[in-house]
Structure formats: structure tokens, C-alpha cells
């Protein structure tokens, strides 16, 4: 997929460059792009190194476990089957806690293991289970309390106050996470209400 | 108050880890170096992809395509309250982390990290993720082909994220 993105971007650039007469600018853009990739990487490197180390310490000290315990009432509402069967629920809470702490690398394996566990209770294996959908969509809108790479990039770009965006990021990402939980649970809730009504009608008839 | 809180969050975590080093029962510094090495590896492994995509984004900027499309879209963009400079970031964000990192840092370089567009981009970059990539990886790992309402919901949330980020930035910073 990345190759295709690259190809499309190059094609658009070439067409526009011919169109606007910026063809010489393309040459220096190639040189600049390659050089600035290294600059971006260098500005990310220190932060990523520090932060992944810090997060490893926190998870070794049991912070993920403690956070996961705090989350359990919330999980009962949005992952009822996993909660009832106990299968996948630990992985789900570990995934959410790791995301909160900003350890994306650790979060993904937890989520994949949770998907596997939830698959056991999926009546139609090639069709996504509602709770699996909730987990996947929640991970596309993850709340991270300290977006370390964002801060590093802002600093590298010469921001006077890299931290200024923290509170807006918290507010927006919390709302987005809440929204993804609600939106993906709606079909499941409707389904349950309909089922209940059908059951009642059947018992009357 | 808000300023102090956001500036303190990161140093507080660092101090907390320092306290764990001081008073923890185990030697936690090992864990630190292990995690840091992992972080370093992941970042360095990013370089080849980042080089390719930074070159592509830089070519796109130099060709005048971004300026032209931004100008073309700016009446629409200002009507809905989203700076038109965000276009490359918004297009790449759902697909790839490195492509959107490239678009984001190119954007910060051209409009400035503390400009309105730069702040909006930062909030969007910090509170959204690579929707298509995440959902594809999650469901293909368990061989699910019918993802049902996963994509519609994820894109609805992303759209909300984009609009709300810009709205909130206007409210918060200006």
C-alpha cells in the first residue's frame, strides 16, 4: 500500500510540476525530502528512546495492571460477552491501558490476542463480532495521555510551546474514543432490544 | 493552570520513573534500557519508509500541487472551518503513520508549529490514528472478511475528530 501512495504522490507532483512550470523545483525537492527525513527521525529518536524506556519501567512496576483494574466497570458495558466469558477481557484492558500510557508497540499485540480470544465466541467466524468491531474502532481513536512523538515533532519544528496542544489533544481524543465506543455499540444494543421484543411476542403467541 | 498542567505531565512521569528507580524493590534500570533499545529500533526501522514518503511529500509541495489545491479548496475549507493547508495530512492520515508523519512535519515547516493550521494539525495528528491500517490488521489477523460497520464508524469518528479539533483549537487558542 505504501508503494501505491508513493506512486500516486509522485505522479501528481510530476503532472502539477509540468503544469505550473516548477519542474526544476522537483530536483531540489528530492534532495530536501531525503535530508529532512533524517532530521525528522533524529528529532524523534531521543524522545522515542526515552519514552519507550519509561513506559517499560511503568509496565514492569505494574501500572498497566492497576490501570486495567480501574477500567473494568467500563469494559462490562462495552464488552459484555468478553466480560461474561472472561475470554479476551484481560487483553482488552491491557490494550486500552497501554494505549493510555502511549505505548503503541505494546498495545497492538494485546489487541490482536484479544481478537483471537473473542473469535472463540463468534457465531459466524468470517463475519466480525460486534465486540470485535468496538475494539478495532476504539484502537483507531486511541487516547494517549502523553503524545511523545507529537511533542518531539513540534519542538523540532521550532514551536515556542510544544506542550500547548496537550489539553486540546486530551479533550478531542477522549471525545473521539467515547464516540467510537458508543457508535459501535449502537447496532448491538438495537439488536438486543429487537430480540427481546421478538421473544416476548413469541411467548405471547 | 491549564498551561502548567500540560507542561507538567511529561516531567511528572519522568520523576515518577525516577522514584521507581530509587524506591523500587527490583533493579528497574534494566527495564528502562530494554524498553529504550526497543524504542530506538522501531524508530530507526522507520527511516526507509520515512525517506521515501518525505521525498514524495516534498515533491508534492514543490510541484505547487498543494498550494494550488489548497487555494482551490480554501473557500470550501473556510466555510467548514478547516484550514486548507491540512489537506495532505488529512489524505494520508487514515492509511499510513509514516506518510502522515511526513505530511505533518512538512506542514509544520511551511506554516509554523504555532500557527492556527499548525495547531489544528497537531491536535488531529495527536488524537487520530491510521484507521484503514488498524482495522485491516486487526480483522485479517483472525481471518474476518466481513467487517460490517467497522469502517463506517471509524471514518465517522475520524471526521468528527477533524472538525472538532479545528473547532476546539479556535475556541482554545484564539
Cβ contact (<8 Å) for B39 and A51? yes
The answer on B27 and B55 residing in a single domain is: no
Q: Which of A191, A63, A74 is closest to A138 using CA atoms? A: A74
Residue % of chain B over a pLDDT of 90: 57
Contacts of B133 in chain A (CB under 8 A): 1
pLDDT for A67-92, tens place per residue?
Answer: 888 988 889 999 999 999 988 888 99
Cβ(B124)–Cβ(B159) below 8 Å:
no
C-alpha cell at A13: 507532483
Contacts of B34 in chain A (CB under 8 A): 53, 56
Domain's final residue, options B45, B60, B77 = B45
Note whether B66 and B104 are same-domain residues: yes
Query: Pick from A91, A127, A130: which is nearest to A111 by CA?
Result: A91
Spatial CA neighbour of B169 closest among B101, B123, B109, B108: B123
Q: Of A136, A94, A91, nearest to A114 (Cα)? A: A91
pLDDT at A48: 86
Residue B114: DSSP 8-state: T
User: What residues contact B19, with CB distance under 8 A and at least 6 apart?
Assistant: none
Q: Which residue has the cell 509541495?
A: B61
Residues B2 and B61 in one domain: no
A171-201 per-position pLDDT tens digit = 999 999 999 999 999 999 998 888 888 877 7
Residue B110 reports pLDDT greater than 60: yes
Q: Is the pLDDT of residue A205 over 60?
A: no
Calculate the CA B31 to chain-centre distance. 27
Residues B156, B81 share a domain? yes
CA distance A74 to B143: 28
Alpha helices in chain B (DSSP H): 2-23, 29-45, 47-62, 65-80, 87-92, 97-111, 116-127, 131-140, 150-173
Q: Which pLDDT band, with edges at 50, 70 and 90, does A146 fall under? A: confident
**Residues A180, A140: contact at Cβ < 8 Å?**
yes
pLDDT, tens digit, 9 for 90 and up, residues A147-157: 888 999 999 99
Residue A140's pLDDT band (cuts 50, 70, 90): very high
Q: B120 with B162: CB under 8 angstroms?
A: no
Taking each helix axis as running N to C, give the angle between helix A148-156 and helix A23-60, from 0 to 180 degrees, rounded to the nearest 10. Answer: 140
Query: Which of B17, B138, B168 is facing A171, going by the closest CB pair?
Result: B168
pLDDT of residue A199: 78
Residues B21 and B85 in one domain: no
Q: Rounded mean pLDDT of chain B?
A: 91
Residue to substitute from B72, B123, B163, B169, interface A, most A β-carbons within 10 A:
B123
Whether residue B102 sits in one domain with residue B132:
yes
What pLDDT does B144 receive?
92
> pLDDT tens-digit profile of A165-177?
999 999 999 999 9
Q: Which of A154, A114, A175 is nearest to B6 (CA)?
A: A154
ipTM: 0.89
User: Quick check: B138 and A135 CB within 8 A?
Assistant: yes
Pair B19, B58 in one domain: no
How many structural domains does chain B have?
A: 2
Residue with cell 510540476: A17
Report, as an integer, the average pLDDT of B33-55: 89
Mean pLDDT lowest for which of A127-131, B79-83, B123-127? B79-83
B38 and B69 belong to one structural domain = no
Where does the pLDDT of residue A204 fall: very low under 50, low under 70, confident under 90, or very high at 90 and above?
A: low
Q: With beta carbons under 8 A apart, name residues in chain A contacting B173.
A: 164
Please give the residue of chain B at the shortest CA–CA distance from A50.
Answer: B36
If asked whether residues B32 and B114 sit together in one domain, one would say: no
Q: Which of B124, B116, B125 is nearest to B83 (CA)?
A: B116
- pLDDT averaged over every residue in chain A: 89
pLDDT more than 70, % of chain B? 100
Interchain CB distance below 8 Å, B113 and A154: yes
Residues B57 and B116 placed together within one structural domain of the fold:
yes
Quote the pLDDT of residue A55.
86
* CB pair distance less than 8 Å for B123 and A187: no
What pTM was computed for the model?
A: 0.89
Domain, as residue range, for B18:
1-45
Q: Test A41 with B43 for CB contact under 8 angstroms.
A: yes
What's the pLDDT score for residue A117?
A: 93
pLDDT at res. A56: 87
A175-184, B76-85, B165-174, range with the lowest pLDDT: B76-85
Do B124 and B157 fall into the same domain?
A: yes
A77/A139 Cα distance (integer angstroms)? 17
Q: Assess whether B29 and B55 both reside in one domain.
A: no
Final residue of a structural domain among B28, B45, B62: B45
Amino acid at each position: 500500500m505504501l508503494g501505491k501512495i508513493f506512486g500516486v504522490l509522485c505522479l501528481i507532483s510530476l503532472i502539477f510540476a509540468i503544469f505550473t512550470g516548477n519542474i526544476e523545483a522537483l530536483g531540489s525537492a528530492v534532495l530536501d525530502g531525503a535530508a529532512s527525513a533524517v532530521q525528522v527521525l533524529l528529532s524523534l529518536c531521543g524522545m522515542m528512546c526515552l519514552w519507550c524506556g519509561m513506559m517499560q519501567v511503568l509496565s514492569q512496576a505494574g501500572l498497566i495492571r492497576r490501570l486495567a483494574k480501574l477500567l473494568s466497570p467500563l469494559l462490562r458495558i462495552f464488552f459484555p460477552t468478553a466480560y461474561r466469558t472472561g475470554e479476551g477481557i484481560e487483553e482488552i484492558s491491557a490494550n486500552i491501558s497501554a494505549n493510555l500510557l502511549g505505548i503503541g508497540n505494546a498495545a497492538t499485540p494485546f489487541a490482536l490476542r484479544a481478537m483471537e480470544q473473542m473469535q472463540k465466541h463468534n457465531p459466524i467466524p468470517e463475519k466480525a463480532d460486534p465486540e470485535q468491531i468496538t475494539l478495532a474502532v476504539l484502537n483507531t481513536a486511541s487516547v494517549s495521555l502523553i503524545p511523545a512523538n507529537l511533542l518531539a515533532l513540534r519542538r523540532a519544528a521550532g514551536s515556542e510551546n510544544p506542550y500547548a496542544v496537550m489539553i486540546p489533544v486530551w479533550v478531542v481524543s477522549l471525545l473521539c474514543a467515547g464516540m467510537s465506543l458508543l457508535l459501535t455499540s449502537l447496532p448491538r444494543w438495537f439488536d438486543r432490544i429487537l430480540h427481546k421484543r421478538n421473544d416476548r411476542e413469541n411467548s405471547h403467541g | 493552570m491549564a498551561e502548567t498542567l500540560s507542561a507538567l505531565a511529561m516531567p511528572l512521569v519522568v520523576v515518577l520513573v525516577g522514584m521507581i528507580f530509587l524506591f523500587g524493590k527490583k533493579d528497574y534500570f534494566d527495564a528502562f534500557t530494554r524498553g529504550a533499545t526497543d524504542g530506538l529500533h522501531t524508530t530507526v526501522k522507520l527511516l526507509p519508509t520515512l525517506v521515501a514518503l518525505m521525498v514524495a511529500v516534498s515533491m508534492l509541495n514543490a510541484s505547487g500541487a498543494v498550494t494550488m489545491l489548497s487555494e482551490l479548496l480554501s473557500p470550501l475549507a473556510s466555510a467548514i472551518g478547516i484550514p486548507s493547508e491540512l489537506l495532505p495530512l488529512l489524505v494520508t492520515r487514515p492509511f499510513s503513520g509514516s506518510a502522515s508523519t511526513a505530511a505533518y512535519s512538512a506542514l509544520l515547516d511551511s506554516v509554523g508549529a504555532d500557527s492556527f493550521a499548525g495547531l489544528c494539525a497537531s491536535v488531529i495528528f495527536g488524537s487520530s490514528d491510521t484507521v484503514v491500517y488498524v482495522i485491516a490488521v486487526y480483522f485479517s489477523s483472525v481471518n474476518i472478511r466481513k467487517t460490517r460497520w467497522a469502517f463506517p464508524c471509524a471514518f465517522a469518528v475520524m471526521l468528527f475528530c477533524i472538525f472538532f479539533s479545528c473547532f476546539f483549537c479556535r475556541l482554545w487558542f484564539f
